[in-house]
Structure formats: structure tokens, C-alpha cells
Chain A
């Protein structure tokens, strides 16, 4: 607990620096990553993040120490080479996108590991820190690193904010952008540079292997919550910052613990929560939505069965008669009867289940939609009367009052359906 307070009160200026760095990094990578996720280029970020590794090792070899300028420079150049190679391969070969990405990723990372081994054999005492670039160590950030990574992050955030309109059209409809005269090739180039930079700024804190997660996951998770680009970018940033700070905290508590994997664990949890619980798009909300639709379907069926019994001259149906109509759904039909009774659409009189006035109104509507749809299928789509029931059974619950009005006017308010049964209207006596 005291560790927690010590960390989050930021009384230690080096911790405050690291948290600030992680925050900037989170916003920068979430901004860039959200656009590349929307552009369906999630894998390119992964390829670039692996591809910067040989550049990092070369930078280290040249500098002989962990100099951030050499490391960032080397990482940027090898990321740029990978980006260039992937677009060159795309336009000059018939290889598919995923093949190109897989080749670039593994070749560059493989070369990087070869370099790392060479460095380890050289016995340079500084090389111990180089492993950190694979899985990241935010606590290892010193002030000099922070200036380099922090200012690059600010640059990325600034450019994205400044060119929001340009990147929006780059992702949504680049052809149109070109048609109205915007320099789309230049905008694409700027975006590619930002993508590489956003990988580069994360190598110390998150590491090359997992940097793609910090790029792509925040936008993916945020997409479940919103359809608005501004909110999407904001939410993605918040997710990235939260996971970044938490990952850093873990690295602070347990000095041997790399930051990257913990950031990924937190991000994945946020993504999982979004996937499950986001309103509208989340799994849980969709499950309840579907369940309530199924329940409405069953309630409609109960009302309809009693209505049909009345058409045949019966006052109502007994519970046993009603249940025998739906032999496979005994339990749910029982629930439907109970809830219909509670809503005042049914009442039980001398063991007969009967419709109340609102119940009749509702039942007539369902039967009317069913028979109107049957008539429509028969008349406009030339489907034989004995083939229309199945479709109407499903669509009677779905049709809106708007569509009902359209059906009525298209069919010219028919009295009978294709089976010569009466189509009940609100004012008809039952």
C-alpha cells in the first residue's frame, strides 16, 4: 500500500517523469493505432514493431552504449526500410498482403536476434540493457530517454491533431481525396512516418514484440463503445494511458518484471470487458436483446393461439390446450402466460385463459401482420399460399407500424389472406 501511495503521489520526480512519458506514449500510439486499425492495416504495425529491432541493435553497436539518439535513429531507419519494402513488394509482386507482412516481420526480427547474439558475444558491459527492448522496461527510462521519446510523442500527437481531416479522408475514401485535389500520396507518407515513429517511441517502455498491442488494442476496444471518431480517439487514449501507467507500476513494484506484457494484460482485459459489456455492441447486451426478442415472439404466439381459438368460436383455451400447441417450449410458454397475465393482456376465468381488451388489440395486430405478409408474398412474389406461412411466422414480430401501413396500401386493404382467412382490423368485432 505504501508503495502504491509512493508511486501515485509522484513525490519521486523520476516516477513522475516516467508516468508523463507513458501518458504521452499512450496518446500518441492510440491516435496512430486507431487510424491504422480503421484502415484495416493492424498487421502492418506489428511488422514494423518487429522490424525496428535490427535497427536498435545496429544503433547500439555504433554508439557502444544505450544512446537514445542512436537507438531511435537506427529503429526509425529499419522501420522505414520495412515499410518501404512492404509497399515495394506489394506493387511489384503478386504476393498477398499477409504473406508480405509475415515475411517482413520474421526476416527483420530474425536479423535483429542475430545482431543481439553478436553483441552478447562481444562482452560489452552495457549490453545487459538491450534485452529490455524486446519486452520493454518503463522504469529503465532515464531523463535523457524521456526527452527523446517524449518530444517524439508530442510531435505525433500534434501532427495527428493538425491533420485530422486529412487522415480521416485517407482512411475513409482516399480516391475521393485525390479527386478533390488533396495530395494523398504525401498524406499517406506522413502517416507512414507517424506509424514508424509511434513504434519507435514505445520500444523502451513496451518493447518491440508487444508494441503492436499498444497500437491496435486501444482503438479496437474503444470501437465497441462509440461510433464517433473524436470520442473513439479520446477513449482509445484513455485505455492506452491506463494500461501504460499500470504496467509501469508493476515494473516499479517488481524490478525484474518487464512492462510490455503487463500493459498487454491490462489492455486485453479492457478489450474483453468492452467486447462483453459495451452497450449495444457488447455480447451481453446483444444476448439480452436477442432474448427479449425471443420472449416477445413467444408472447405473440400465445396471444395469437387464443385469438385463433376465438375465431373458431371458443371463449378461450385451457392451460393444457395452450401448452399442447407448443410441445417443445413448455417452460418458456408458461413464463409467457405469466408475464402476459401480469401485463393485463390475459386473464384466467374458470380455468380458461382469455384475452383482455388490450390483449385482443395486440393479438389482432400480430394476426393482421401475419396475414398481410402472407398476402404480400403471395401477390407480389408469386409464392404459393401453402408456402407463405413459415416466413410470416417469423416476420409478424418484426414488422413496424410504418411497414404495416405500406403493406396495407400496397395490397389495398385486403379483407382476406391467401388462405381465405379474415385479416382482423382494430375496429373489427371479435
Chain B
């Protein structure tokens, strides 16, 4: 069940990605509508993070391409915002909450220009939206997991984008934070932004998102909630890896070279 849409905000065409020798995403082909809250579901190691990293150009695909707003990434980069996984950085880095949120303005500032008053005001606004005003000058090493996540989201808001790609923003956060983040995502979606979220918990996902991408090394489903959240598709997503696919991956790994890489 893969539903393609007219005038997609994001189009992924036959995307195959390999790390070193083993393919982690096979022929993903999908298109996403604008203004929706979209969840990417799948078990551990299904390629969820890899999918949004390849949209952001952070991993090189073996084949296929990605188009955003019908253009290439470099043409529309300022309209796209990315929230990496919280664990991907060292939170002992000497920086304050404000310093990190200001990084969201670096893209528009470009090389060499320092953030000024305008950027600072924007950053403070974004911190207010995630309820972190009281922590502006706090060192990031002193934050809890949920607070770190809010800082990352504030940083993404400071990019003032139209499309947001978030890698596990609900991972390791308490229930209050989860509810607050979800409410914020809903507000963003109501304001016409498109939000794509990697999420691991199916039970809460059903309540959160109105469009789903289900991954398990290959694309199982992509479509509106009422059409794709079915027992059959969920079983295909979570019910173990396709046996043959794993065997082929293993074969490629043993060959020590990857025929999928062009």
C-alpha cells in the first residue's frame, strides 16, 4: 500500500542506500503531501534514520534521488529543518542553551557572519515555544534528556523552515515533554508546516500522526492513517525481516564489494 500524491512536498525516487558493504534501504519510492504530520515507523535497524539522513544529504545513496518542493536539496535547503538524534552529540560540550539554539540560524547566516540581535530574538522566541525560557543561559551539560530534546527542537524552529525532519524527538523524554512536543508539532502542522518524525512506538504513533511511512529495510507502506494502519501492514513492518532480503544482504557483505554502488 504505497500512495503517491500530486505536487508532493517530498519525493523519494527509487532510493537505495548502503553502509560500507551492506544495503540498509532497498528501492524506497514514495511521495508526501504538504501540511501533514507524518510518522516514520519501523523496528530497530529498519533504516528510519537513514531515510531522513539521505533526504538531508548526510548519507550518499547508492542509487535514486530525492526532490523537495520539486527541486534539489541545495536549491531549497533554507526551507528544510533537521533535528538529529539527541545521542548523536556530546552534551558535555561547553555551550549554553542559547548557543545551541542560535546554531539554527547558522544556515541563513552562512559562513563567517556571527549571529546578532535579530538572531538572538528569534532564538529566544523559539525557546519560549518549547517552554525553555527559564533555561536560556543554562549549560547544556546540566539538562535532562527531555530538556535536551526541547533545545534541539527550538534549534530546528530557529531555522524557520517549511519542512521539518525529526529523528526520534520522543526518545528518552518524560510524558510531560512528550505531550508538550506533540502539541507543538500539531500547532506547526496547523500552521501549514510539514513535519516528518521518526518514531519507534506504534501505540502512541497511531494517535499522533495522520500519514504514515512504514519501513523494514524496504518500504512497506506510505499513506494516510486510515488506509495504512492495518494489522497486515503492521505485521509486515514489525514481523521480522524478509528472509530472502537478509540473505542477499549477507551475500553482498561477503563479496567485499557492493554491486549496488554505481
Q: Which residues of A are in contact with B by a Cβ distance under 8 Å?
A: 38, 40, 162-166, 168-169, 171-173, 175-183, 223, 226-229, 232
From known contacts A169-B103, A175-B88, infer whether A180 and B94 are also in contact, taking CB-CB under 8 Å. no
A177 touches B106 (CB 8 A): yes
Closest CB-CB distance, B153 to chain A, in whole Å?
13
Q: Which residues of B are in contact with A by a Cβ distance under 8 Å?
A: 56-58, 74, 77-78, 80, 82, 84, 88-90, 93-96, 99-100, 103-104, 106-107, 109-112, 114-115, 139, 141, 155, 159
Closest CB-CB distance, B86 to chain A, in whole Å?
11
Q: What CA separation (Å) do A171 and B89 show in the bound complex? A: 9
Q: What CA separation (Å) do A22 and B106 show in the bound complex? A: 35
A179 touches B115 (CB 8 A): no
Q: What CA separation (Å) do A183 and B100 show in the bound complex? A: 19
Closest CB-CB distance, A203 to chain B, in whole Å?
29
Residues of B within 8 A of A173 (CB): 84, 88-89, 103
Other contacts beyond A40-B90, A228-B96: 18, CB < 8 A: A162-B112, A166-B112, A171-B93, A172-B100, A173-B89, A173-B103, A175-B58, A175-B88, A177-B106, A179-B82, A179-B84, A180-B106, A180-B159, A182-B106, A182-B107, A182-B111, A183-B111, A226-B94
Q: Tell me the dominant secondary structure on chain A's binding face.
A: helix
A180 touches B77 (CB 8 A): yes
A166 touches B89 (CB 8 A): no
A172 touches B90 (CB 8 A): yes
Q: What CA separation (Å) do A176 and B107 show in the bound complex? A: 10
- Closest residue of A by beta carbon distance from B83: A176
Q: What CA separation (Å) do A172 and B91 show in the bound complex? A: 8
A-B contact count (CB 8 A): 74
From known contacts A38-B94, A169-B103, A171-B93, infer whether A176 and B84 are also in contact, taking CB-CB under 8 Å. yes
- Closest residue of A by beta carbon distance from B115: A165
- Closest residue of A by beta carbon distance from B108: A180
A179 touches B95 (CB 8 A): no
Q: What CA separation (Å) do A369 and B84 show in the bound complex? A: 39
Residues of B within 8 A of A40 (CB): 90
Report which of B90, B95, B110, B141 forms a contact with A168, defined as CB distance below 8 A. B95
Closest CB-CB distance, B114 to chain A, in whole Å?
6
Q: What CA separation (Å) do A229 and B95 show in the bound complex? A: 6
User: Could you give 10 example pairs across A and B, Cβ below 8 Å?
Assistant: A166-B112, A169-B106, A173-B103, A176-B155, A180-B103, A180-B159, A182-B107, A183-B111, A229-B95, A229-B99
- Closest residue of A by beta carbon distance from B93: A172
Q: What CA separation (Å) do A179 and B74 show in the bound complex? A: 10
Residues of B within 8 A of A182 (CB): 106-107, 110-111
Residues of A within 8 A of B77 (CB): 180-181
Residues of B within 8 A of A223 (CB): 94
From known contacts A166-B111, A181-B74, infer whether A176 and B96 are also in contact, taking CB-CB under 8 Å. no
- Closest residue of B by beta carbon distance from A176: B84
A165 touches B93 (CB 8 A): no
- Closest residue of B by beta carbon distance from A229: B94
Residues of B within 8 A of A183 (CB): 111
Closest CB-CB distance, B44 to chain A, in whole Å?
20
Closest CB-CB distance, A94 to chain B, in whole Å?
9
B94 touches A175 (CB 8 A): no
Residues of B within 8 A of A179 (CB): 56-58, 80, 82, 84
